[in-house]
Amino acid sequence: MVSVRVLFLVLSVMGAVQAADPSEGEFIAEGGGVRGPRLVGKQQSACKESDWPFCSDEDWNYKCPSGCRMKGLIEEVNQDFTNRINKLKDSLFDYQKNNKDSNTLTRNIIDILRGDFTNSKNNENTFSQVSEDLRSRIEILKRKVIEQVQHIHLLQKNVRDQLIDMKRLELDCYDALQTHPSGAQSGIFNIKLPGSSKIFSVYCDQETGLGGWLLIQQRMDGSLNFNRTWQDYKKGFGSLNDKGEGEFWLGNEYLHLLTLRGSILRVELEDWAGKGAYAEYHWRVGSEAEGYALQVSSYEGTAGDALIEGSVEEGTEYTSHAGMRFSTFDRDADKWEDNCAEVYGGGWWYNNCQAANLNGIYYPGGSYDPRDNSPYEIENGVVWVPFRGADYSLRTVRMKIRPFGTQ
Ligand SMILES: *[C@@H]1O[C@H](CO)[C@@H](O)[C@H](O)[C@H]1NC(C)=O
C-alpha cells in the first residue's frame, strides 16, 4: 500500500514537471508566449531593462526575450514549482497525518484489544478463582462425608459390640456360672431367655450343689398375695432384692421357655423350727396352649415326692401333680368338680386337688386349723404333704431350676 502511494507521488511529480512545458498549459494562458516584460502575479521581478541587453540575434527578432523577461519567466516557473512542491508537501503532510491517525487508530485498537485481552484475562482469573473456591468447598464436603462415614462405621461397630454383648447375655444361671466373670457368686444376673426378646434380672444360687440354680419362686414372709389371675401367673409377679430376698413368681411363660430343653427343678423347704428339706425332679412346663402342664419325673430328695407320688394317704390318683394343667381362680383346669385354685388360694398344677402347694395361703407360725376355712375345711396353707403334712404351712419355700444334663 505504502509503495503504491509512493509510486503515485512520483507520478504526480513527473506530471508537474511535464506541465512546465512552455508550449502549453498555464504558462501560455498567462501570456508566456508574448514577448516583452509583463506583470507576473505578485512575484514582480525587481530587474530593470538596462540590466539586461536586448536580444541581438536577428532570427529571434521581436520574439527575442529580454533578460528581465527570462528572469520573470523563470521566477514564474519556480513559483509554480514551489506551489506544486508545497502542494506535495501538504499532500505528504496529510498523508503522514493520516498515516499517523491510522497508526493512532491501530494503537487505539491494540489498546482496546489489549483491554479486552486483559479483561478476558481477568475473567479467566475470576473463573479460575471461582473454580478454585468450588474445588476447595468440594474438598471440605468430601472430608466431611468421609468423617461422617467414619462416624457411621464407629456407630455400627458400637451397635455390633452391643449386639455381641446382648448375645453374650447368659441364658440362665448355669450359663452365668460358666461364662460370667463373677458368675461363681450368688446374686442377680441379667439373662435373655431363648425364644423371648425380654431381658430380665434373676437371682442365681451358685453355691447349692454345683450352683447354676435360677430362682423361680419364693415365699419367706407372707408379704405378697399369691391368689392371683391367670395373666399374673403367666407373666409373673413380685420382686427380689439383690440379696435374693422377697416373694415372687417368675411367670409360667418363662418357666415354659426355660424348661423347653429339659430342666431340673429343686424345691427347698424350711419349717418354722428351721428344719429344711429338698426335692429334685426332672421337669418341663408346657406351653400356654398346653395349659402350662407339668411334666415331672425322677424324684430325688429328703422332702418326699409330693409332685409325682402325691399324698399316699389321700391317693396318688387324686393328689399327684404330674401331668396336671395349671389352674388359677379365673381359669379352672383341675380334676375337681369345684375350683381348687379358688379355695386353695393360689395358682398351681391342681389335681383333685393337691399334695403340695407352694403358692398357698401363708400362715405365720406354721400350724393352722383347716376347720376355720369355709365353705370347705380346706388345708390351703403353703404345704408339702410328705414333709410336714397338709395342715402345716411352711415358713420358707423356694423353687429353683437349672438346665438338664448339667450335673
Ligand atoms: C382368691 O381370690 C378369688 C377372687 O378374688 C376369691 O374368690 C377367693 O375366695 C380367693 N381365695 C382365697 C382362699 O382367699
Copy the grid coordinates of residue 79.
513559483
Copy the grid coordinates of residue 383.
404345704
Residues 6+ apart with CB under 8 A from 303: 267, 269, 277, 278, 279, 384, 386, 387
Report which protein residue has its CA nearest ligand 1's atom 4: 329
For a ligand 1 pocket test, name from 330, 342, 344 the mutation site with the most ligand atoms within 8 angstroms of its C-beta. 342
- Tell me the pLDDT tens digit for each residue of 121-168: 777 778 888 888 999 999 999 999 999 999 999 998 888 877 666 566
Q: From CA 239, how far away is CA 248, in angstroms rounded?
A: 5
pTM of the full predicted structure?
0.61
Q: What is the pLDDT, as a whole number, of residue 90?
A: 84
Ligand 1 center–CA 329 separation, angstroms: 7
Cell numbers 421337669: residue: 283
Ligand 1 center–CA 112 separation, angstroms: 110
- Tell me the pLDDT tens digit for each residue of 319-340: 999 999 999 999 999 999 999 9
- Tell me the pLDDT tens digit for each residue of 196-237: 777 888 999 999 998 999 999 999 999 999 999 999 999 999
Whether the pLDDT of residue 305 is over 50: the answer is yes
Ligand 1 atom closest to residue 378's alpha carbon, by position in its atom list: 13
Q: From CA 61, how far away is CA 55, in angstroms rounded?
A: 8
- Tell me the pLDDT tens digit for each residue of 15-27: 444 444 444 444 4
Ligand 1 center–CA 32 separation, angstroms: 167
Ligand 1 center–CA 330 separation, angstroms: 10
Q: What is the pLDDT, as a whole number, of residue 5?
A: 47
pLDDT (average), residues 276-287: 97
- Looking at per-residue pLDDT, the higher value among 357 and 21 belongs to 357
- Looking at per-residue pLDDT, the higher value among 46 and 114 belongs to 114
What single letter denotes the amino acid at residue 285?
Answer: V
Ligand 1 center–CA 239 separation, angstroms: 22
pLDDT (average), residues 356-382: 91
Ligand 1 atom closest to residue 345's alpha carbon, by position in its atom list: 13
Q: Which residues line ligand 1 (CB under 6 A)?
A: 227, 329, 342-343, 345, 361, 380
Comparing 53-57, 107-111, 186-190, the range with the smallest average pLDDT is 53-57
Report which protein residue has its CA nearest ligand 1's atom 2: 227
Ligand 1 atom closest to residue 361's alpha carbon, by position in its atom list: 13
